[in-house]
Amino acid sequence: MGEPFKPFTLTLIVGDISDWESYGCRESKELLQYNVPWKLEFKRTDPNFSVFLKCGRNAENEEWSIKVKLELTLSSTTGKTYVEDSETNFTQGSAVYGTDDFITSRRLNEEFVYKDQLILDAKVTILEMNGIEKKKKLINFDDEDSRKLSDVTLCIGNEKFYVLKQLLARQSPYFHSMFFKDFKEATMEEVPLKDERVFNDLRTKTDIRAATDPDLKNPEILRRLLDLAIEFHF
């Protein structure tokens, strides 16, 4: 058996819900995982809201298939969630999967919309993939796309990381307190962080390296990374 596939998540932060009338649609930014582009679509078609996962594999003359487990999570910024699980197969002739009645408009507005905003996550686990070469893509946090989509910049030494406050806050109580309580960082556009030595040692700058990187086998660097994870509550 080959190396197992690691789950990945597409996140769509949807705002201005009150401006949607009988129809509205938002798409996540395209995410390339295992040499396949993916998108998440959230659409209003009264009386329901629909959700679709799109596999952007473009190979008309090749036979391929991807079996996935999909976990859709609708979240309010207050913490309330609604989860729906399913499995499906993407193929050459069927590259879109979803549901037209994911949640009713009434329930969504009454239970999940807060300050005209909600969050939709799609956790995708590939169970089986055929006809596609599996590749890994490094994730960048300092490119132009990241800068445009970010709402805060983390400064570590001379490096700048463009990120979203809500995504950091959902993963770390440390950042949740920093950005959503009465701390000065909540209104800062650039937030300086300490412990730049870890990033200098890893020499990562903007990429998340594969586990085979020799730096990540260095016990001292691993210890510093663990200390950093504990400090930021990851």
Instruction: List pLDDT tens digits, range 125-158.
Output: 999 999 887 654 445 565 666 777 788 888 877 7
Q: How far apart are CA 177 and CA 46, in angstroms?
A: 37
Instruction: List pLDDT tens digits, range 60-116.
Output: 667 899 999 999 999 887 788 999 999 999 998 888 999 888 999 889 888 888 888
For residue 187, which amino acid is it?
Answer: T
The CATH label, of 3.40.50.12780, 3.40.1180.10, 3.30.710.10, 3.40.50.300, for the domain at 144-231 is 3.30.710.10
Residue 198 contacts residue 221 (beta carbons within 8 Å): yes
CA 166 vs. chain centroid, Å, equals 11
User: Nearest Cα to 126, choosing from 118, 134, 116?
Assistant: 134
The CATH label, of 2.40.10.350, 3.40.50.1820, 3.40.30.10, 2.60.210.10, for the domain at 8-130 is 2.60.210.10
> Which pLDDT value is given to residue 32?
86
